[in-house]
Structure 1
Amino acid sequence: MNFQNQNASPRVLSGRNVTAILGPTNTGKTHLAIERMVAHSSGIIGLPLRLLAREVYSRVVAKVGEHHVALITGEEKIAPPGARFSVCTVEAMPREADVAFVAIDEVQLAADLERGHIFTDRILHLRGREETLLLGAGTMRGILEKLLPGLSVITRPRMSVLTYSGSRKITRLPRRSAIVAFSSDEVYAIGELIRRQRGGVAVVLGALSPRTRNAQVALYQSGDVDYLVATDAIGMGLNLDVDHVAFAQNRKFDGFQYRDLNPAELGQIAGRAGRHLRDGTFGVTGQVDPFADELVHRIEAHEFDPVKVLQWRTASFDLSSVDALKASLDTPPPVDGLTRALPAADAKVLEFLSREGDVRALAEGRERVGLLWEACVLPDYRRIAPAQHAEIVGAVFSDLARMGHVDEDYMAEQVKRASSTEGDIDTLSQRIAQIRTWTFVSHRPGWLADATHWQEKTREIEDSLSDALHERLTKRFVDRRTSVLMKRLRENAMPEAEISPVGEVLVEGHHVGEMLGFRFTADRSAEGEDARAVKAAAQKALAAEFETRADRFAASGNGDLALDSDGLLRWLGQPIATLVAGEDALKPRIVLLADEQLTGPARDKVAARAERFVTYQVESLLKPLVDLRDTESLSGMARGIAFQLAENFGVLNRRTVAEDVRALDQDARASLRRLGVRFGAYHIFVPALIKPAPAGLLSLLWALKNDAKDKPGYGDVVTALAAGRTSIVTDPAFEKAFYGLAGYRNLGRRAVRVDILERLADLIRPALSWKPGTGARPEGGYDGAAFVVTPAMMSILGATADDMEAILKGLGYRGEPKPAEEVAAHLKALDEAAAEKDATQKAEEAKPAEPVAEGADAATQTEAAATQPNEEVAVEPAVAETPEEPSAPEAEIEPDATPETAAEAPASETPAEKPAGEEEEEEEEPKPVLIWRQARFDGRKRHGAGKGNPRQQARGRQERDGAQKRGKPHRKDGEKPGFKRKGAPHRPREERPARIDPDSPFAKLAALKDQLKK
């Protein structure tokens, strides 16, 4: 309950900038409101039912995305940060909202005795800055124009024709009919009758939870049942494919008395028949007398008595005391056209609680009285006596007043009582009503200490109860039946049968089943002797159909066939065969889904066409893989690698085949490349297979071979690949093989596409190959043997700094944490040295060449070059022992910052000035930066990514072999240079002459001297 402006005087707003869209059902009013709302920058729409709010929420989400739409009802709240549009029940709408657009649906409910005052309040007070729409029946025109001067009214005609069809027996109602009754007993009785006679029925009651009602509506909408039994809940805008509405009752209890439905109410319900441009009919059934001609005319022409007054209750509550609050509820309406509403449920609860001494003692002061009134708003979902409901409200208020929140133990006890899913339909319905009460409590701000926990708990219980209730309803009302058709079949030993062009099998004009592909599915209505008669008649009609369909299928093109991710082969959408694993993963077996009537040559035709299509799919989508498996142009080690690629569906970790790849000569590599193979830094793979269609087929074939179609993740990873994701967060529940089949590699918590990893290698390679003093430092370069993570690396992977750490470690790199200041200083020094060197070179090139003194030898020139302060001397790196991993904590670079900026200006070093009087907060230490180096292998530095670099291993072997040939002892793994083993003479390492950069001016001087000597 919103208590803002509680003491404001009652007022009625004008109708300026307000438009009323009025008309009968099926005029597209709600659709128009949705279109108008999303055209504005912000908006809110109020609907009469939570179920309808859910439907509209889904439609708005489909247009603008779920991050922009909120759903707010008494029992549910989905409110993304920054949501621009809100879909609410009218009760959950605020009295004031700063939005551009406002729409209120079914405004004729403002005349309802129970809920009308809430609709009236929103109609009079809630406005959009730019546009306000009031949607409802044409009967509201006069009263709205009276209450809202300046109102603009637009009337819309019905899109289809509504016609009265008279009275029919329930068992003779046409398919796609809705039968309307107003008591649960009558609904259940009708459902039982239709189940026995026509097969099944869906049930929609106002007492059902929204989840159960959705499930029952889906049962009807999907065509599983052709009949719907409902109360007048279907009259409130639910979009159903109903062709005929039959009234089995025309009296209902409105909360105060039993009465006949008025013509407007009958028209509202009858208007559910027909949808969009499809015409509909309505009539009566059961014990209801046929409608009078005058009533029929009014319903067909949508001519109803105008609404004279709207229910009204003040929104300016006097919270000074309980008695003052009760008195304020009796405030008379401020203008003509409004009538004071009868005491609603909240007012009745307040009346009961005001007699309780404990409650009155706690309700002292404006704040406590407001709290009491807020508690009285708790809905009575169970429809119990006011005194019983008041007892629950009193307990909630006492806890709020004494403790500031509802007692956790009391909440737990009440929730536990409603958690059992055992019992019949009525028992489960009562439990759902009970848990909805506590779901409402959990969504009230400030009522619970741990609101999130109870919201999840009550939602879980309500969903489980709703599912159990749907199961009970389906089991009771959707069973096999004995139909009128079966009665006629019993009169004939062999009734005539036929099959329609669309596959519907008819026996004496009645539906008995469908022909899907090469399978006949019998109608579930037949049992026992009747079933055998129906089957015999259907087989007679289908005898020639199997032959005809086999010929059509054999001549069909590839465009008519499709292979689903579940392994089903479909022809024009109908299942024909399914794939099962064969001996060769690329050659699955085909199992036809056909009845025994498909035999002989006809069956052979179908099997051959299905096999040709599957073979075509494999050979076209997986051609590179088939070529690798079947090629005769490869031999030796190249043939072995091709075999391994075929066995591993086109992706190999380079580490696992490092020795094999090293043994390949250039011709073998070229042959493999011609077959589509790419030799990457981390993987040997076939890029053509990293596409959605080939990856999906590979996943299917692997799942068939490993019986993994039902394992988590099947299809999900391929979907991510189809969306163009370069990397995805891995799900531990998924089968890991599915990532590899789609061309991803699991690294830490992310899976990265293997071709994207090669782009990462392209960024790392220049940083590792660069040496200080050889030119400008490339992005990411550090000291010639290490690199730092750059934003470009993270960008191509779609990864965070934490992800990059795990990815690089998985690729074989090791991270060394260094202080951010040290890294920044080092990078700055390298850049300054490169710039200074570049400037010196330009200056030297601009000077005339100086004569070289006679007698100067090369050694002198070399020494001079080596001692220049602005030149760096490149020396061979000594083979050092593998250092231990640092124990300091590792850190990462923020994804939106470069390593330099991350090191130079950490946020903790430049705190903003704090206002006077605030305590100085302790500065955080800057995070270290990870310096990444290639991992060691056999005690030597590796120049390639991945474990077991073939080039480095080969060079290591050459050095060891040469040392043994020269009679030198071979240094074991892990020994430092100059290490003296027991029994081996110590041989000091020879100093190697420094190499001069050939592009330096000193090298040019040395070359000039040599020319002069010659």
Structure 2
Amino acid sequence: MAIRGNRVAAAALDSHIAAIVISSRTDSRLRAVLGPTNTGKTHLAIERMCGHSSGAIGFPLRLLAREVYDKVRAIKGDAATALITGEERIEPPGARYLLCTAEAMPRDGGDKAFVALDEAQLSADRERGHIFTDRLLNARGREETLLLGAATLEPVVKALLPGIEISERPRFSTLTHAGARKLSRLPPRSAVVAFSIEQVYAVAEMLRRFRGGAAVVMGALSPETRNRQVELFQNGEVDYIVATDAIGMGLNLDVSHVAFAALSKFDGIRQRRLTPAEMAQIAGRAGRHQQDGTFGTLAGSRSGGPVEFTEDEVFAIENHRFAPITRLFWREAEPRFDSLGLLLADLEARPDMDQLAPAPEAIDLAVLKRLAGDPGFAGGVTTPGMVRRFWEACQLPDFRQQGVEMHSRFIARLWRDLREGYLGADYVAARIGELDRTQGDIDTLQGRIAAIRSWAYICQRPDWVLARDEMAARARAAEARLSDALHQRLTERFVNRRTAVLMKTMGKDAGLLRVALEDGDQVTVEGHPIGHLEGFRFVVDATADQEDRKLMLAAAERHLPQLLAEKAQKLVHSELGDLRIAQGAVWRGEQCVARLEPGKTRASPRLELTKELGKLDPAHRSRLEEALAHWLEGALAPLAPLNALEQAALDPEAGSEVRALLLTLADRGGTVHREAAGLAQIPKEKRPLLRRLGVMIGALDVFVPALLKPAPRKLMHLIGIDKRPLRETMEAVIPAGKQVPAGYRRAGKQAIRVDLAEKLFRAAHDSRAKSGGRQFTVDSALATSMGLLPDNAGRLMRDAGFRPGNSRALPEGAFGPPAPLLWSWRAPRKDRRPPQPGRTQAREGSAFAELAKLVR
């Protein structure tokens, strides 16, 4: 819809209404799908387009267009899918599905069955708004047209497009304000948003030093470099990404938290605070699909004033409520080319519709006005064809972001050749060759990529360059090489892979970290060297910087026992071969190597070499003793819970009663009958200490579940702590002989492991609590599943105070399952309150009994 000042406003509105009537007669559906980020709008557009015979979608970013192009190509095939942007054009003959940037999108939809415009709220953008407004008003599909954007667009869309069908989509996940956080406290999978290149670099450098690094995404990067940087984050190689506000427009990342390093930016005119809608567009990157996200600020940022959201801003972002857009920027999309003066007049014309505002002067119009004022240019641009061609040259995007003055000079140099016809292939190849150099730092490479994007755009024009296809391929290849080099520089500067590995594994289970002792005693973490062993002492890598050194020492301290045990294993194996523990000694085959003598605790005996090995020279003997000690420490690792009991028993703070119980547990291999545990003397405030040590106080036994496993039971038997019979596999239920093995309790003619017996008692007590009365049912299936026979299960339950009632027979003539057996419970005799000494209970009915009642 073209609007030229006051002349055609009414006519345009009439023609627009007529177009709606015509579209309704042809069953063309005009629909707007509005809502916040993460509502599946773009996914819906892809589905709708693929359901039509042809279609086109306009996107705000080349990167987003490329992402959707790959998705549609996988569905429809290479031959049916095209990608059209200013710098790249992949358009097979007869392609039916076009994925474009908004600028490259056909104004009328290209006679496609389906047309969609993504991020339509950009019609209110100062620089590019007039492009989106034009597509919003004019791009139509034969069968269906879809406008995708923020809910703030609803009032103005209703006013401009009467009769449009509007639907709103809710966000899939919840977005919550998390407050300010320091850089060191940012959770993994976070994105930090800054609004200047300097701040992006500063934050990324801090994350490299303290968190192992970050991916970097800026609008000035090429799509290839941005994809490679995003891949670093998506693959989990780094847990953080630092970006400008470009992250808010279509980049789909697995981000759980967005932190704002600043809340103001320079918009080309002034430094201003972001609007709540802009904040929400960026914060909405947190949380994808059903995964909730959080947003907040970066504490300690020095970006001019405190970085804090107001209460109103937090409310607006969390609830997706923003001031509606009332006016869209508009500029004549089809100006007249009779003369430069008429072209300028049309481009500066003002619309008469209240919902449209004249677009601020964009850089293409500024360049046109500057060059048109130069007689050296204006004098030769006289015919409509020359005026059109001149305006197309002025519309070359300022990829280098150099401003009007410098960009005008570049356009002026370009026009001198275009005025005569075409740019020569040799000339274009030489310009591309000058830029196709991968040496230099990050800023240098970014500048070359921006310049090569200008030449890629020039080579896409159908009437500007001879040998266009060849030159376009050269420009794309040069951009790809520069992008690879830039990605490498960014990774080298802002990603410390060794620190990233250490930071991601610190605080996790040591068993999850892949630590290796390589040949030459080199210690590596996830393949990255962090130091080496000198004897049995760890030495940090001398090439590490100060930050890495701290992390590596911390990682080494956590995994040093594992490394030393591995080295000791190698040394002992090379000196003595395979070793085993038996009969309180260390054996090599049938030969005794060392005796296990009492140490500080029973779980940590000391080694005494045999006389044969005692004859070694002192240096060799000391080396062997040290290796054997580390080997033994690793071999006795399953006894760590027992060692913890003994160490706690040496602490006077535990109290004599607790120490007595711990020593009894240690002496009996982690299991003691409740009546022998002395629980009545242990204060209640000491019970948490027992729980921290892994001690379980059961109905009939006090035990340590970790010591009921086969490995610790076998070791306690081999080193002589437990003399009772040994069960190699520690089955749930076993036949009961004259002597019950360690860790078991007799149950009639069977024996059950004490922890499983406790499981039966707890289930019965739960049933008792639910019944709320004196009698309750007990599920016999649990005991049966363990292998306990009914008679033996009954005896075990009686030991714990449970008493079965009499089974009720069915009435005569009745059929069906028997009535459930009802149980009762009374504390076992050993747990009842003992009678107080010196007092006897008076016989009921006697005078003394009546006197006692009066006293009570």
TM-score (ref. length: structure 2)? 0.58
The answer for the alignment partner of 1:274 in structure 2 is: 287
Provide the aligned C-alpha RMSD in A: 3.5
Aligned residue runs from structure 1 range 66-215, under 5 A: 66-96=78-108, 97-215=110-228
Contact in 1 for aligned 2:57/2:117 (Cα 8 Å): yes
Cα 1:63–1:186 shift into 2, 3 Å: same
Cα 1:542–1:59 shift into 2, 3 Å: farther
Secondary structure of 2:167's aligned partner: strand
Q: Does residue 347 of structure 2 align to residue 337 of structure 1? A: no
Cα 1:497–1:64 shift into 2, 3 Å: closer
Secondary structure of 1:91's aligned partner: coil
Of 285, 292, 298, which residue of structure 1 is paired with 2:310? 292
Secondary structure of 1:134's aligned partner: strand
Q: Deviations over 1:587-618 (max 9, x none)?
A: xxxxxxxxxxx999x9xxxxxxxxxxxxxxxx
The answer for the alignment partner of 1:431 in structure 2 is: 448
Distance 1:468 1:485 in 2: 27
The answer for the alignment partner of 1:400 in structure 2 is: 418
Distance 2:152 2:400 in 1: 32
The answer for the alignment partner of 2:57 in structure 1 is: 45
Secondary structure of 2:179's aligned partner: strand
CA drift of 1:48 comes to 0.4
Gaps of 5+ in 2: 516-522, 533-539, 568-629, 635-856
Distance 1:542 1:152 in 2: 68
Aligned residue runs from structure 1 range 535-574, under 5 A: 535-540=556-561
Contact in 2 for aligned 1:176/1:243 (Cα 8 Å): yes
Aligned residue runs from structure 1 range 46-61, under 5 A: 46-61=58-73
Distance 1:296 1:302 in 2: 10
* Paired amino acid for 2:552: A
Of 319, 328, 334, which residue of structure 2 is paired with 1:310? 328
Tell me: higher relative CO, structure 1 or 2? Use CA pairs within 8 A at least 6 residues apart.
2
The answer for the alignment partner of 2:737 in structure 1 is: none
Q: Deviations over 1:149-195 (max 9, x none)?
A: 00100100000000000001011100000000000000000011110
CA drift of 1:347 comes to 0.6
Contact in 2 for aligned 1:162/1:281 (Cα 8 Å): yes
CA drift of 1:202 comes to 0.5
Distance 1:440 1:30 in 2: 26
The answer for the alignment partner of 2:382 in structure 1 is: 364
Contact in 2 for aligned 1:143/1:307 (Cα 8 Å): yes
Cα 1:163–1:533 shift into 2, 3 Å: closer
The answer for the alignment partner of 2:407 in structure 1 is: 389
* Paired amino acid for 2:307: D
Distance 2:171 2:240 in 1: 24
The answer for the alignment partner of 1:652 in structure 2 is: none
Q: Deviations over 1:96-130 (max 9, x none)?
A: 11000001000110000000000000000000011
Contact in 2 for aligned 1:371/1:397 (Cα 8 Å): no
Contact in 2 for aligned 1:203/1:473 (Cα 8 Å): yes
CA drift of 1:284 comes to 0.2
Contact in 2 for aligned 1:252/1:259 (Cα 8 Å): yes
Cα 1:134–1:534 shift into 2, 3 Å: same
Contact in 2 for aligned 1:202/1:227 (Cα 8 Å): yes
CA drift of 1:396 comes to 2.4
Cα 1:225–1:483 shift into 2, 3 Å: closer
The answer for the alignment partner of 2:651 in structure 1 is: none
CA drift of 1:498 comes to 3.6
User: Percent same amino acid at aligned positions?
Assistant: 50
The answer for the alignment partner of 1:447 in structure 2 is: 464
Cα 1:231–1:527 shift into 2, 3 Å: closer
Secondary structure of 2:103's aligned partner: helix
Distance 2:99 2:471 in 1: 23
* Paired amino acid for 1:36: R
* Paired amino acid for 1:338: L
Contact in 2 for aligned 1:312/1:333 (Cα 8 Å): yes
* Paired amino acid for 1:43: G
The answer for the alignment partner of 1:20 in structure 2 is: 32
Distance 1:161 1:250 in 2: 22
Secondary structure of 1:362's aligned partner: coil
* Paired amino acid for 1:531: M
Distance 1:409 1:54 in 2: 30
CA drift of 1:533 comes to 4.6
Cα 1:599–1:47 shift into 2, 3 Å: farther
Of 390, 394, 401, which residue of structure 2 is paired with 1:376? 394
The answer for the alignment partner of 1:531 in structure 2 is: 552
Q: Deviations over 1:920-947 (max 9, x none)?
A: xxxxxxxxxxxxxxxxxxxxxxxxxxxx
Aligned structure 1 segments of 4 or more residues deviating by more than 4 angstroms: 7-10, 480-486, 502-505, 512-516, 520-530, 541-546
The answer for the alignment partner of 2:435 in structure 1 is: 418
Secondary structure of 1:423's aligned partner: coil
CA drift of 1:515 comes to 8.1
- Equivalent pairs counted in the alignment come to 531
Of 256, 260, 283, which residue of structure 2 is paired with 1:247? 260
Cα 1:527–1:331 shift into 2, 3 Å: closer
* Paired amino acid for 2:55: G
Q: Deviations over 1:483-511 (max 9, x none)?
A: 9999x99xxxxxx98446x6689xxxxxx
The answer for the alignment partner of 1:466 in structure 2 is: 483
Distance 1:464 1:379 in 2: 22
Secondary structure of 2:324's aligned partner: coil
Contact in 2 for aligned 1:202/1:474 (Cα 8 Å): yes
The answer for the alignment partner of 2:807 in structure 1 is: none
Contact in 1 for aligned 2:510/2:558 (Cα 8 Å): no
Contact in 2 for aligned 1:196/1:480 (Cα 8 Å): no
Q: Deviations over 1:509-538 (max 9, x none)?
A: xxx99889xxx9999998447525523422
Secondary structure of 1:252's aligned partner: strand
CA drift of 1:356 comes to 2.0
CA drift of 1:542 comes to 8.5
CA drift of 1:460 comes to 1.3
Q: Deviations over 1:633-660 (max 9, x none)?
A: xxxxxxxxxxxxxxxxxxxxxxxxxxxx
Cα 1:475–1:301 shift into 2, 3 Å: same
Secondary structure of 1:237's aligned partner: coil
Distance 1:64 1:19 in 2: 24
* Paired amino acid for 2:106: P
The answer for the alignment partner of 1:939 in structure 2 is: none
Distance 1:214 1:51 in 2: 8
Contact in 1 for aligned 2:501/2:525 (Cα 8 Å): no
Distance 2:8 2:501 in 1: 66
Secondary structure of 1:92's aligned partner: coil
Contact in 1 for aligned 2:58/2:102 (Cα 8 Å): yes
CA drift of 1:255 comes to 1.9
Contact in 1 for aligned 2:502/2:551 (Cα 8 Å): no
* Paired amino acid for 2:256: D
CA drift of 1:139 comes to 0.3
CA drift of 1:399 comes to 1.8
The answer for the alignment partner of 2:754 in structure 1 is: none
Cα 1:251–1:497 shift into 2, 3 Å: closer
CA drift of 1:197 comes to 0.5
Q: Deviations over 1:21-66 (max 9, x none)?
A: 0000000000010011000000000110001111111111111112
TM-score (ref. length: structure 1)? 0.49
Contact in 1 for aligned 2:81/2:97 (Cα 8 Å): yes
Distance 1:62 1:217 in 2: 21
CA drift of 1:463 comes to 1.0
Contact in 2 for aligned 1:195/1:481 (Cα 8 Å): no
Distance 1:101 1:279 in 2: 33
Distance 2:56 2:493 in 1: 40
Secondary structure of 1:369's aligned partner: helix
